[in-house]
Structure 1
Amino acid sequence: MIKDKTTVILIRHGECDGNVKGMFRGQMDFPLNERGLKQAKEAGDAAKKLGIDAIYSSPLLRAKQTAQAVAEACGLSVANCPGVNNISLGSWEGRIKEEIAKEEPTLWNTWLNAPEYLVFPGMEPLTDVMARSRAALDEIVKTHRGGTVAVVSHRTTLKPLVASCLGIPKPWFWKLHFDTASLTTLLHDEKGYSLLHFNGTDHLSEYRSEWN
């Protein structure tokens, strides 16, 4: 039986220009923009108060920059975690939403209404993102049993990950939202995962929600 409680702080990366332009980023490597760098520092200041023992990050630059800001605030180093990398979106990467809606209306309709079932060449199914991110988080929790660990990732990874941890049935994608540089807290114990705090943004001096 698991007696130790492990706290997991899930952090979405700070803002990048792809966010602002309404572009599908996927695994394209965008750096944080000026606002994103500020958000990352503020996320680090907030995380410092939580007594974090370790920090893991997606390998993409926008996540690594965010994680590094958290690490500097907490006096830690960043561990690379490919399991929480962003979804691969194939031909959609680098394209704006309006373009896809016009050129691929059938796929776009599925994205809007049933993204859990969307599949097209080059796209990583959300079920696969869920499986790999959950496996990565379970391993992190096992390694840091009884501690507090931060994981910096992406919205389209955090959605299936949290849905898996909390046992949320389909359709779950549009029921969960993670703003840039937000903090979400899970607790893991003998009962599994439970949600303590969701999409926290009080630490951000310039809050701007991004709903789609």
Structure 2
Amino acid sequence: MTQICLVRHGQTDWNVQRKLQGKTDIPLNRVGRKQARECCNHLKESAWDVLISSPLVRAKETAEIINEEIHLPIEEMEEFMERSFGDAEGLTMEERDRLYSYNQYPNQEEVEDFKARIVAGLKKINERFPTEKVLLVCHGAVIRMILSIFSGEEQEVTLPRLENGCLNTIHFEEGDWKIKEYNLVGHLSEHN
């Protein structure tokens, strides 16, 4: 049975400013590096077989900090990059609401294309690592899409916001993915 722990990257300055990041490559800030260390301290208590990261710097940096105690090769998979939000990247929520209606941003990645690449990535993980425990460091919209697919939600936006540094677990068993844990933050000091 494949088990995947989905780790949302640590905080960035754009998270604090509530700017839409998408594929814009923003590094972690001081709090984000602390969150990654706290993820590391929590995750090192379990045995992991594989560490996969989105190639965007905020996810890679989170994975590298986690890996200081886990010591696995880090594999980058483009299938788990954040969704491109086109012309809305770098804009705050207020700016987006003023300029665009109903989250329809010019030049953004279509939802069906986004979903298809994530499903292809999950299929690849399940085929390559059928009995392993996988850490996958990626992004909020990616995790929401994965969870919405397997929870039967119509759209990923209906799920609550995921915290930076949160942990979410899915298992592939009996021919299907099942959600085991959602938005766990007890390992993060700002939530204790």
Q: 2:62 aligns with which of 33, 48, 66?
A: 66
Q: 1:145 aligns with which of 98, 121, 130?
A: 130
CA separation in 1, counterparts of 2:44 and 2:127?
22
Q: Cα offset for 1:172?
A: 4.0
The answer to whether residue 79 in structure 2 is matched with residue 94 in structure 1 is: no
CA separation in 1, counterparts of 2:121 and 2:156?
20
Q: 1:179 aligns with which of 122, 141, 163?
A: 163
CA separation in 1, counterparts of 2:156 and 2:187?
27
CA RMSD of aligned residues (A): 1.6
The answer to whether residue 9 in structure 2 is matched with residue 18 in structure 1 is: no
Q: Which piece of structure 1 moves more, 124-133 or 166-175? A: 166-175
Cα deviations by residue, 1:25-54 (Å, 9 ceiling, x for unpaired): 111111100000000011112121221111
Letter in 2 for 1:45: N
Point out where structure 1 has 5 or more consecutive residues left out of the alignment: 112-117
Letter in 1 for 2:74: V
Identity of counterpart residues, as a percentage? 29
Point out where structure 2 has 5 or more consecutive residues left out of the alignment: none
SS at the partner of 2:190?
A: coil
Q: Which runs of 4+ in 1 moved over 6 A?
A: none
Letter in 1 for 2:4: V
CA separation in 2, counterparts of 1:157 and 1:36?
18
Aligned pairs for 1:96-135 within 5 A: 96-104=92-100, 107=101, 110-111=102-103, 118=104, 120-135=105-120
Number of equivalences: 192
SS at the partner of 2:191?
A: coil
TM-score, normalization by structure 1:
0.85
The answer to whether residue 39 in structure 2 is matched with residue 43 in structure 1 is: yes
